[in-house]
Amino acid sequence: MLTIKKRIAEQIVKGVKAINPEAELGVSDVAAMLEYPPDANMGDLAFPCFKLSKTLRRSPVQIAQTIAESFSDEAVARAEVVGGYFNLYLDGAYLMHHTLSEVFKKKESYGSPANGDGKTVVFDYSSPNLAKPFHIGHLGTTVIGHSLRKLHEFAGYKCVGINYVGDWGTQFGKLIVAYKKWGDRETVENGGVDALVDLYVRINNAISGNEAQGIPADPALADEARAEFCKMEQGDEENLALWRWLVKLSLKANDEIYAQLGITFDSYKGESNYTTEMPAQVQKLRDAGLLKLDDGASIVDLSEYNMPPCLILKRDGSSLYPTRDIAAAYDRKQLYDFDKAVYVTSAGQSLHFAQWFKVVELMGYDWADKLVHVPYGTVSINGAKLATRTGNVILLRDLFALATEKVAGIMEEKSPNLQDKEKIAEQIGVGAIVFYYLSNTRMKDINFVMEDALSFEGNTGPYVQYTYARACSILNRADHFGGKVVITAPEEVALAKVLSTFGEKVNEALETYEPSVIARYILSVSAAFNRFYHNCTILGAEDENVKGTRLLLTDATKQVLGNAFDLICLKKIEKI
């Protein structure tokens, strides 16, 4: 559709030049102004002439009429002026030929804007705090981040995926205190991350108190935890040995989840990697006169920018998140010389990123404007906020297992002889959860309701995966296809039109950092294909040209859906 829009824009520019030869209006500007009317009776595309009224000093109707007088293009069957709009009705045969030709010519690259060549983007995503289980609250950064990475790779960027794991901080001080008081190595080894969570919840209950469980508050334990972490930062080998062991247990549990999602990373450099890098950045802040003491803590005053102070060092000299983030960003610039560094975290961290981004700018780094924070909304469970310290979480492993079990039951009933049922059930089950998440606009807060996420009816992951499998099944049963492309049903043109817009949707998703654009596009393709499938006989069509055309449309649908699936971590399953 982008190519067709460009053709139409060229003709519109000619009409505008007829009104004012000096008008500065580019073809790309006009193409961007073309709209999709809300009603198909109003055309396939529309140009809102009121946008040029002030520049051309003509009424929108006059502009539309002048453009119409000279307009001619084989991609357009007819055009008409309606008020201040110039409405265009595409030629179905041209659209069909053009779309199918583009899909089969470009195949896996169909839809790619190919504008990222030579540019490097670093993605910081997933990045869970270790010693805690992977729960539904971690899903957002993980799948949104990976989808954005896949989108940029699809556009030709060199992408570096970094899992900046939270393997440093006071939570390890808490765990060390808890382990020394109540833990033993055998129990923790056997229990893995679950045993760590038990210790973590116990220490937090002990610090804050838990009236329901009859546990009195003991704030002194928080001081002990801070002291143990401070010892880690100062190189205490006993604590560092415990820390390395806790990290290893946590990473093993996380890798199992990443394997189910099909996600890998290029770097696992966690916060601990920057303990030796931070002093240089702190010194740079001092040398620049940016660091100030406030009640013993070292801060950067950001009141001039309407932000609270950015904390760099605690009173005891230990580091904080901004300190480590600045050191990590500097390191990544040296390693990858990125054109853009993207951080995918919850919207609750927006102030944190705004603060240290500003600090990087004040430090004089010329790459400060290359830092991008991509926030997303919160997840709650039936309205209750997630919190690992209280145990109020849904673990992803349990969620994936439940979804897989439900799919397996359906498949056992409908396809008992299907090979690799267990593997396919997992791919559909995990895909159902991922699609449920990514089909929501990323800034929308999600109240996670298990029944909705695992529904296999309506606009769901299983529905679109079944659509892909349906296309594969039809093609597998076709002996051959080709011949003359003919149009005999409106559903054929409607499907071709949806397939033609993939490139625009990819651009939109890239520009807005919004994977949900692709998820909703997949639903549009699936709906158009299923209407086509139900209303148009494919394999049984008596006319060979009709049959061939419909098989080409089916093949194009498979290709486009497959390309889109790859962008949102959804598996392509050919038999269900």
Query: Residue 241 domain-assigned?
Result: yes
Same domain, 163 and 209: yes
In whole angstroms, what is the distance from residue 491 CA to residue 531 CA? 7
Does 376 share its domain with 400?
A: no
What average pLDDT does the segment 292-300 reach?
91
Q: How many Å apart are CA 570 and CA 410, to the nearest integer?
A: 19
Across all residues in the chain, what is the average pLDDT? 89
Is pLDDT of 573 > 90? yes
Q: Among positive and negative, which fits the CA dihedral 112, 116, 120, 126?
A: negative
CB neighbours of residue 416 within 10 Å = 8
Considering the domain architecture, whether residues 367 and 427 belong to the same structural domain is answered as no
| Residue span of the structural domain in which 21 resides | 2-90
Using CA atoms, how far apart are residues 95 and 493, in angstroms rounded to an integer? 8
Is the model's pLDDT at 482 over the cut of 80?
no
Q: What letter represents residue 13's amino acid?
A: V
Name the band, by pLDDT with cuts 50, 70 and 90, for residue 555: very high
Residues 301 and 286: beta-carbon distance below 8 Å:
no
Shared domain for 439 and 527, answered yes or no, is yes
Pair 477, 556 in one domain: yes
Tell me: pLDDT of 317 over 90.
Answer: no
Number of structural domains the chain divides into = 3
Distance from the Cα of residue 126 to its chain's centroid: 11
Place of tokens 């500065």: 24
Phi, psi for residue 345 in degrees, rounded to 5: -145, 175
Question: Which 3-state string (H, E, C) describes 415-451?
Answer: CCCCCCHHHHHHHHHHHHHHHHHHCCCCCCCEEECHH
The CATH number for 59's domain is: 3.30.1360.70
- Grouping H, G, I as helix, E, B as strand and the rest as coil, residue 210 is strand
**In-domain check, residue 426:** yes
pLDDT of residue 237: 93
In a domain, 43, yes or no: yes
- pLDDT-derived band at 411 (thresholds 50, 70, 90) equals confident
Which of 325, 358, 390 is the last residue in one of the domains?
390
Is 36 a member of any domain?
A: yes
Does a structural domain hold residue 97? no
Does residue 271 or residue 44 have the better pLDDT?
44
Same domain (yes/no): 305, 371: yes
Q: Per mean pLDDT, which of 10-19, 114-123, 207-216, 396-405 is the most reliable? A: 114-123
**Residue 201 above 80 pLDDT?**
yes
Same domain, 361 and 411: no
Query: Taking 90 as the threshold, does the pLDDT of residue 479 lie above it?
Result: no
Choosing from 390, 420, 441, the residue where a domain stops is: 390
Per the structure block, which two tokens stand in for 278?
A: 């931070």
Can you spell out the DSSP letters for 175-195? HHHHHHHH--HHHHHHHTHHH
| Predicted local distance difference test score (pLDDT) of residue 390 | 45
Can you give the pLDDT at residue 384?
55
Question: Are 201 and 274 in the same domain?
Answer: yes
Q: Tell me the CATH number at 417.
A: 1.10.730.10
CATH number of the domain where residue 164 is located: 3.40.50.620
**Is residue 194 located within the same domain as residue 343?**
yes
For residue range 78-125, list pLDDT tens digits in order.
999 988 888 999 999 999 999 999 999 999 999 999 888 889 999 999
Q: What is the pLDDT of residue 388?
A: 45
Chain centroid offset of residue 349 CA: 17
218-269 confidence digits (pLDDT tens):
888 999 998 998 898 888 999 999 999 988 888 888 888 999 999 999 998 8
pLDDT in tens, 272-291: 888 788 899 999 999 999 99
Distance between CA atoms of residues 417 and 47, nearest Å:
54
Query: pLDDT > 70: what percent of the chain?
Result: 97
pLDDT of residue 389: 43
Q: Is 533 part of any domain?
A: yes
Q: Identify whether residues 217 and 188 lie together within a single domain.
A: yes
Question: Which residue spans within 144-197 are E strands per DSSP?
Answer: 158-162
Q: Which residues pair with 293 in a beta bridge?
A: 298
Q: What pLDDT is recorded for position 37?
A: 87
Q: Which of 220-234, 363-377, 444-458 has the highest mean pLDDT?
A: 363-377
Per-position DSSP letters for 239-271, written without gaps between them:
HHHHHHHHHHHHHHHHHHHHHHHT---SB---G
Domain edge (last residue) among 367, 390, 413: 390
Are 30 and 82 in the same domain?
yes
Mean pLDDT for 170-195 is 89
For the chain, give the number of residues.
576
303 and 172 belong to one structural domain: yes
Q: Is there a domain that residue 111 lies in?
A: no
Q: What is the mean pLDDT of the segment spanning 565-571?
A: 95
In a domain, 574, yes or no: no
